[in-house]
Amino acid sequence: MGRLHDLHIEQGQSPWLDNLRRGWVTSGELERWVDRGVRGLTSNPTIFQKAIESTSDYDEQFGDLVASGTSIDDAYWDLVTTDIRSALGILAPVHESSGGADGFVSVEVAPSLAHDTDGTIAAARHLHQVIDAPNLLVKIPGTAEGLPAITTAITEGISVNVTLLFSVDRYAQVIESYLQGLEAHPGDLTAVSSVASFFISRVDTEVDRRLGAIGTPEALALQGRAAVANARVAYQVFLEAFSGPRWEALVARGARVQRPLWASTSTKNPDYPDTLYVDTLIGPDTVNTIPDTTLADFEDHGTVARTIDVDPDEAGSTLSAIEGLGVDLNEVTSLLEAEGVTAFTKSFDELLGVLDGRAAQLRS
């Protein structure tokens, strides 16, 4: 047993792996991560872009798809769903042994749908039906247009990973969308699951830049503190939302909490500790989806201790102090959401372009 097992057993947090590539499936690497304590897996368009472009692992399947006349867009989804199905199989024992609480694998709808409610609903339904696994989470961006899609998906029994969350206010709206979906669901709720992916390191990157531009000693002293404070305030919102009579009525029907999932938890600033966004966000009923490099770092020298709610008042005071210096956190989180959608769309489009080029070479 190592630190990843300890996170779950001692602190009630589930460490997930934020990466997927075919070579990890075929080599047994993903199974080894699960043996070491990984309890779930997330993917996104950027992860698949890197995996497909940087290896030859997908060439044989892609060649067969091209030879059969499959379109480039459909070929992409065939490649992705093959990897997702393999990962779902490897994580299935975790899902079963946890009573459906863990062992999930996430696949994201096309990023171009981030501001298209109806398109997102249709894509979520399609992925849910085509992949058809109890431990699948369909990733839906937590944009304003994504909120009604989340409610519809949950109402229809589609388990959801809400992604690209930066704002505490938007996070509260996502929780409300989840609760409304559960309330509208016609039957037993035990098979419906959800996590809300709250992005961490990018908040520090942008806030630190703005504090650096202010340049006062007070501003510089607050660098590296916004992201953790933001997540800790979000955790208090989570605790409040999933308590009281409204929630208890849903629990009676088998409902599960929508766990906060800390995403983007590798440190971007080399001056910060490499396990900063793992060590400081540990607590019950949470998930941390961690890139493999940071997972290895945490296994080696991370600290297993409850930290998510060590001082809730201090977290709120930190955010107030940052805003008091002139950093508009609403502006920051809106910018980061827009940049996140753009980055995932760019990765998706670039990969389709690469696949189109490969297909042309194969045909010639």
Which residues are known catalytic residues? 139
Do residues 131 and 160 lie in contact, with contact meaning Cβ atoms separated by under 8 Å? no
Place of tokens 């990890």: 24
| Tokens linked to 66 | 């091209």
How far, in whole angstroms, is CA 222 from its chain's centroid? 26
- Per the CB < 8 A criterion, the answer to whether 289 and 42 are in contact is yes
- Are the beta carbons of 148 and 346 closer than 8 angstroms? no
List residues bridging with 14 in a β-sheet: 287
Instruction: Give residue 221's region: left, alpha or beta (phi > 0; psi -120 to 50).
Output: alpha
Distances (CA, A) of 173 to 143, 145, 148, 281: 10, 12, 10, 22
Residue 327: closest CA among 261, 260, 229 = 229
Alpha helices in 156-256 (DSSP H): 168-184, 201-214, 217-221, 226-241, 245-251
Taking only Cα atoms into account, the Rg of the chain, rounded to an integer number of angstroms, comes to 20
Distance (Å, whole) CA 147 – CA 120: 10
Neighbours of 290 (CB within 10 A): 29
User: Measured between alpha carbons, how far is 327 from 213 in angstroms, rounded to an integer?
Assistant: 10
Phi, psi of 289 (to 5 degrees): -95, 120
Q: Burial level of 237, CB count in 10 A (0-12/13-18/19+)?
A: middle
